[in-house]
C-alpha cells in the first residue's frame, strides 16, 4: 500500500511491482494526477511547453493497464489503523468511504508548503504550488493578473519570477534574507541582483511580510518596509514534511522534524516505510541528518523502499545537496556546502574564487564561468562548490558532486583526469584551476 502518487510513491509502487510481479500494489492519491513534473510549470507558463499534459510522465491508466498497479486518484486518505492493517480513504468523486487492507505501507505524503505568519494569508488570490492541480489554478489566476507578488527568493521564486516576467506581467519579488538563493554565499551570488533588476523585476530584500490586504481577494502586500499593489500572490518560501500519518502511527521523527528511516527506508514501526519530501536523509558532507527535499531524491528513496518491500536489500546512502538553476541566460549551480554552511557545521573551512574560460580561448563562443571552491584546511577535503556563468555550469556541478561524494581532497581534484577538447573545455578545466589555486592556501 502506498499513500501518495507523486515521485516517491509511484517510484516505490513501480519498483515493487517490477521486482515481484505477483505483488498486489495499491496507490492512493488525492489529486487527479500521478507521476507528474511540477518543476516544469515555469516553462509552461512562459510558453515553452504547450499543455499541462506534457508534464505528466505516466498516467494513472498507464500504471493500471501496463504495470498492473491499482492506482486510485481522487482518493483522500483520512485514517490509518495499523493494528488492523487498514487504510481508510474517501473517494472524492462519489463521497464513499473505502477501506483497504495492507501488509506493508509506504508513506509518500510529501511536503506541505510553508506560509508566512501574516494577517490575510488566506485571502483568495494567494497561491502555493505543490501539485499539478495547484499549477493549473495559479495559471488561471495569472491570465487575469497584471502585477504578481512572489514571496520567496529561493530557486522556486526566481524560476517563477522569470516565467511570469516573460508572460508580460510585472513582478514584485520579496525575500526576508539579505540575498537571493540563501543556500549560496552572499558575496558570491549578490551579482545576480543586478540581473534580476535589469529584467524589470522589483527586488525587495530584507523585508518581512506583515499582512496581505484586500476585501475577499488580495490587493496589496504589506511588509515592514513598504506596500505593494498586486493582483495575485505566489508564496514560495519552502516546504515542511507532511508527517500527519507518521505521528498517528507512532513513527519516530528525526531531528529535522521529518520522518526518520534507516538506509532501507524503513521507519521505526514494523512494515512501515517512508520516502520523499516527508523523509529525513543524511548529508554526505557532514554525515548528519538533513532535510533536503528534491525530486531526484524522492524518486531514489521511493525506488529503494519499493525494492525492499518486495524482498530486496537496496540502500539509500544520503545526498550531497546538489542544485542547478537557469535564470534567463545565467546558469547557477551548487554542490555540497557553501563556505558559510561549512563554518556553521564546524569545519575549518576556506575557499577560493576563480573565473575561467569555459572553452579554449581561441574557440568561438568561449565564455567565463565563476567558481567558488570550498575545502577544509585540516583534512584538505573538498566540501562544496558554487558556479555561475552563461555556460559550463552543469558539467562542473556533476563532476564536483562525484568528487564530494567520494570524499576527495583538493590535491585529488587538482589531478583528476577530466576530459579536454577546445569546443567543451580548456586544457586547464575551471575545476582544476580552482583546485590548483586552493593548493596554494594549503602549502
221: CB partners within 8 A, 6+ apart:
149, 151, 172, 174, 209, 212, 213, 227, 228, 230, 233
Query: Taking CA 89 as the corner, what is the angle to CA 85 and CA 95, rounded to the nearest 5 degrees?
Result: 150
Helix (H/G/I), strand (E/B), else coil: 345: coil
DSSP secondary structure of 234-272: EE-S-EEE--HHHHHHTPPB-TTSSBP--TT-B-SSTTE
What's the grid cell of residue 220?
496589496
DSSP E strands in 275-392: the ranges are: 281-282, 289-290, 323-327, 330-336, 349-357, 368-376, 382-389
Q: Are 336 and 347 in contact (CB under 8 A)?
A: no
Among this protein's residues, is 427 annotated catalytic? no
- What SS3 state is found at 21? coil
How many angstroms separate the CA atoms of 267 and 275, rounded?
10
Active-site choice (24, 39, 202, 330):
39
Q: Specify whether the CB–CB gap between 11 and 299 falls below 8 A.
A: yes
User: Which residues lie across from 332 on neighbouring strands?
Assistant: 325, 388
Q: Do 104 and 309 contact (CB within 8 A), yes or no?
A: yes
Question: DSSP assignment of 309-330, as one string?
Answer: HTT-------B---EEEEETTE
C-alpha cell at 85: 492493517
Task: Kindly state the DSSP code that residue 344 receives in the 8-state scheme.
Answer: H
Angle at 322 between CA 10 and CA 190, to 5 degrees: 130
The cell numbers describing 192, all together, are: 545576480
**C-alpha to C-alpha distance for 236 and 39, rounded to whole angstroms:** 13
- As a whole number of angstroms, the distance between CA 76 and CA 32 comes to 11
Which residues have a catalytic role annotated? Answer: 39
Amino acid at each position: 500500500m502506498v499513500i501518495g502518487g507523486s515521485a516517491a510513491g509511484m517510484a516505490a509502487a513501480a519498483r515493487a511491482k517490477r521486482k515481484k510481479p505477483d505483488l498486489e500494489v495499491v496507490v492512493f492519491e488525492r489529486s487527479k494526477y500521478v507521476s507528474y513534473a511540477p518543476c516544469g510549470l515555469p516553462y509552461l507558463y512562459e510558453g515553452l511547453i504547450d499543455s499541462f499534459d506534457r508534464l505528466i510522465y505516466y498516467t494513472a491508466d498507464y500504471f493500471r493497464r501496463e504495470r498492473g498497479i491499482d492506482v486510485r486518484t481522487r482518493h483522500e486518505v483520512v485514517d490509518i489503523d495499523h493494528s488492523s492493517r487498514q487504510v481508510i480513504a474517501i473517494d472524492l468523486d462519489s463521497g464513499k468511504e473505502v477501506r483497504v487492507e495492507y501488509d506493508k505501507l509506504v508513506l509518500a505524503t510529501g511536503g506541505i508548503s510553508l506560509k508566512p505568519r501574516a494577517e490575510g494569508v488566506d485571502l483568495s488570490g494567494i497561491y502555493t504550488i505543490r501539485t499539478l492541480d495547484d499549477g493549473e489554478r495559479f495559471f488561471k489566476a495569472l491570465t487575469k493578473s497584471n502585477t504578481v507578488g512572489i514571496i520567496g527568493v529561493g530557486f522556486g521564486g526566481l524560476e517563477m519570477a522569470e516565467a511570469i516576467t516573460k508572460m508580460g506581467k510585472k513582478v514584485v519579488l520579496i525575500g526576508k534574507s539579505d540575498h537571493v538563493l540563501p543556500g549560496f554565499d552572499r558575496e558570491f551570488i549578490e551579482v545576480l541582483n543586478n540581473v534580476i533588476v535589469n529584467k524589470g523585476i522589483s527586488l525587495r530584500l530584507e523585508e518581512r511580510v506583515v499582512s496581505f490586504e484586500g476585501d475577499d481577494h488580495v490587493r496589496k502586500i504589506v511588509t515592514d518596509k513598504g506596500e505593494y499593489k498586486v493582483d495575485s500572490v505566489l508564496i514560495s518560501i519552502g516546504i515542511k514534511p507532511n508527517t500527519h500519518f507518521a505521528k498517528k502511527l507512532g513513527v519516530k521523527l528525526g531531528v529535522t522534524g521529518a520522518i526518520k528511516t534507516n538506509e532501507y527506508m524503513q521507519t521505526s514501526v514494523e512494515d512501515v516505510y517512508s520516502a520523499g519530501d516527508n523523509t529525513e536523509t543524511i548529508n554526505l558532507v557532514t554525515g548528519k541528518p538533513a532535510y533536503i527535499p528534491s525530486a531526484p531524491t524522492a524518486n531514489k528513496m521511493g525506488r529503494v523502499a519499493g525494492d525492499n518491500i518486495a524482498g530486496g536489500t537496496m540502500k539509500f546512502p544520503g545526498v550531497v545537496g546538489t542544485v542547478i538553476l537557469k535564470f534567463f541566460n545565467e546558469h547557477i549551480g551548487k554542490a555540497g556546502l557553501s563556505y558559510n554552511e561549512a563554518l556553521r557545521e564546524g569545519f575549518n573551512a576556506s575557499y577560493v574564487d576563480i573565473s575561467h574560460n569555459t572553452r579554449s580561448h581561441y574557440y568561438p563562443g568561449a565564455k567565463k564561468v565563476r567558481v567558488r571552491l570550498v575545502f577544509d584546511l585540516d583534512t584538505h577535503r573538498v566540501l562544496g562548490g558554487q558556479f555561475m556563468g552563461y555556460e559550463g555550469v552543469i558539467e562542473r556541478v556533476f563532476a564536483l558532486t562525484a568528487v564530494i561524494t567520494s570524499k576527495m581532497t583538493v590535491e585529488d581534484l587538482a589531478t583528476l583526469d577530466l576530459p579536454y577538447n577546445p569546443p567543451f573545455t580548456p586544457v586547464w578545466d575551471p575545476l582544476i584551476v580552482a583546485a590548483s589555486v586552493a593548493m596554494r592556501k594549503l602549502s
